[in-house]
Amino acid sequence: MRRFSLLAFILILVAIACGSEPATTAPAAQPTAEPTTAVSAPTATAVPAAPAATTPAGRIAPTSTAPTATAAPAAAIPEEKFVRSAILQRLGPEPPTLDPHITVSGESAIYVVEIYGGLVTIDKNLRVAPDLAKDWEISEDGKTYTFHLREDAKFHDGKPVTAHDFKWSMERASDPATLSPVVDVYLGDIEGFKAKIEGRADSIPAIRVVDDYTLSITIDAPKVFFLSKLTYPTAFVLDRENLEGNDKWFNEPNGTGPFKLAEYAPGEIIRLERNDLYHLETPKLAGVDFSLSGGDSLLMYENDEIHVTGVGLINLASILDPSNPLSENVIQAPPGFDVSYFGMNADEPPFDDVKVRQALNYAVDKATLATVLLEDLVVPAKGILPPALPGYTPNIQGYEYNPDKARQLLSESKYGDNLDEFPRVVLTLPGSFGASVGPVIEAIVQMWRENLEIDIEILQTEWAIFLKDLHEVRFQMFGGLAWSADYPDPENFLDGLFYSKSTNNNSNYSNIEVDALLEQARVEQDQDLRFETYHQIEQMIMDDAPWVPLWHGNGGYALLKPEVKDYFLFPMTVPRFRYAYIVEE
């Protein structure tokens, strides 16, 4: 999953246009910012509504339908009009890492999905599609996948990509020494994975090299979403020779993606350069430059320093005004596959009492915040799953604003007899020490103070440290982040974030009945029945209230230079720059 910071989400609201995806939610955890003014999404992290339709056995080519992405309108333009030397200019986030096997945030994913690749990818229609594998077969029992690699696929340096490279890469991701925070979520279905991640095995026999261009993977049970999991960066292929003996390999990675990393100066720039050897369709852009130094994005756009920028809330009305020439350059993003939230550690007082957690949910007026502070660029969350996601149901019973109910529940909790001795509560957020937490979080904290007489202390930590501590479940309460889908399936939210043994379960939430239903849903082959099970699971989780779900991205606005075509805006992080191109004005 990809997480992004709430600030990012708000920035994402802003970033969608600027292209910074990290700021609106967070991944596998891929974090991004939250909508403070404009709507965008963290990089992290949109995917197929369901994994490609398959038959139990036989060679398949994905054909499932999925939500469509939003693109800048472009009429048919002859290729001779393309400016093949053009470089797209935009703002970008500072990545915590460029190693795909430890990527967990949108801030990293926006670059990683362009530099590297895997067996399968998510295409512009948000479907699972072939990448380095040209096709594959699934055994009759649904457990063994046999991938046929493209013989013309090469690393950036021209070296052929083979099945041996994939086996080594997946075993490297699964090695405890790699310290991947989420590898068990994405590769944990593979037989023998557990022995490898626990250091009891040197290899994973279920990942088998049949020949140089054929790879076989056997999983522990038939799971319809397994292919979708392979679109996540933990399954991306790396060049062993590039890594071994080179501690700084990620500064000059030998990937397979549509773009090569040409330059990375922290705090200044990330420059991607077209990969002319790319096996799908060679990018039309010569490159993409991401400015990491920040600045006034609207002013930079007006000065022709960047081609795209998000539209912040403060400027939204004036830019949408038809009398403003910039209104002709506005594009709108689709609703995001994301959810912004606060998490509570269910093992730590006072959140070890479900009534305290429920009280905090009832005490937040999400509808007013969404309208007054965020100008309806977000949709208040009734549950966990975003409305645009396949498998969503509007019938979840969430927490409407009810301060009287909140006070009643708090008084009924085991801490209600003496609120003067109420446990200290520290809310940890991503951000610089002493920096403003923003009006949204300030308003929510004030609601808890006024409605429940709970004073909450705020502690901010730098994003990379925040992510590390989040995965180590060090927080009593945490927020300022969102979860963005890695692939469009309820499993990516409910199983990945709330299964008691999941490494993405940062709330220490545990419910035996929920675990049993999640395990049942994993192997259910009937999609309708599977979605019905997830509806039941989501309601049970909401009743237990390990989170305070806030809202989902409702789409946002961006400014795009008219010479830029096919610049797609997706509800999640997928490779997109290979589609874009710039034409002569």
Three-state SS letters, 500-547: CCCCCCCCCCCCHHHHHHHHHHHHCCCHHHHHHHHHHHHHHHHHHCCE
CA 228, 229, 231 angle in degrees (round to 5)?
Answer: 70
b/e burial code for range 533-567 (CB count within 10 A of at least 16 → b): bbbebbbebbebbbbbbbbbbbbbbbbbbeebbbb
DSSP 8-class letter at 369:
I
Q: Which residues make Cβ contacts (< 8 Å) with residue 34, sequence separation at least 6? A: 4, 5, 6, 7, 8, 9, 10, 11, 12, 13, 23, 24, 25, 340, 440, 480, 481, 482
Structure-derived torsion over alpha carbons of residues 345, 346, 350, 353, reported in degrees to the nearest 10: 160
Tokens of 468: 């590390």
Q: Domain locations in the chain?
A: 338-553
What are the helix and strand counts (H, E) for the chain?
A: 17, 24
How does DSSP assign 89-151, residue by residue?
EEE-PPPS---GGG--BHHHHHHHHHH---SEEE-TTS-EEESSEEEEEE-TTS-EEEEEE-T
Report how far residue 550's alpha carbon sits from residue 137's, in angstroms, rounded to the nearest whole number: 41
Q: What is the pLDDT of residue 2?
A: 52
Superfamily of domain 338-553: Dipeptide-binding Protein; Domain 3 (3.10.105.10)
Decide: 254 and 237 in contact? Cβ < 8 Å: no
| CA distances in angstroms from 56 to 122, 219, 425, 436, listed in the order given | 21, 14, 51, 54
Q: What pLDDT tens digit does each residue of the chain (585 aa) get?
A: 455 544 444 433 433 333 333 233 333 333 332 222 222 322 223 222 233 323 223 323 232 333 444 554 455 676 767 788 899 999 999 999 999 999 998 899 999 999 999 999 999 989 999 999 999 999 999 999 999 999 999 999 999 999 999 999 999 999 999 999 999 999 999 999 999 999 999 999 999 999 999 999 999 999 999 999 999 999 999 999 999 999 999 999 999 999 999 999 999 999 999 999 999 999 999 999 999 998 999 999 999 999 999 998 889 889 999 999 999 999 998 888 999 999 999 999 999 999 999 999 999 999 999 999 988 889 999 999 999 899 999 999 999 999 999 999 999 999 988 888 899 999 999 988 777 888 999 999 999 999 999 999 999 999 889 989 999 999 999 999 899 999 999 999 999 999 999 989 999 999 999 999 999 999 999 999 999 999 999 999 999 999 999 999 988 899 999 999 999 998 889 999 999 999 987
- Reference 7, options 437, 526, 510, 484; nearest CA is 437
54 torsion bin: left (phi>0), alpha (psi -120 to 50), beta (else):
beta
Amino acid at 398: G
Span 319-336, pLDDT tens digits:
999 999 999 999 998 888
Closest alpha carbon to 492 in 334, 336, 338, 335 = 338
Output the CA torsion 391→394→395→400 (10° steps). Answer: 130
The percent of residues above 90 in pLDDT, for the chain, comes to 75
What does the pLDDT read at residue 312?
84
Q: What is the pLDDT of residues 539-574, one digit of tens each?
A: 999 999 999 999 999 888 999 999 999 999 988 899
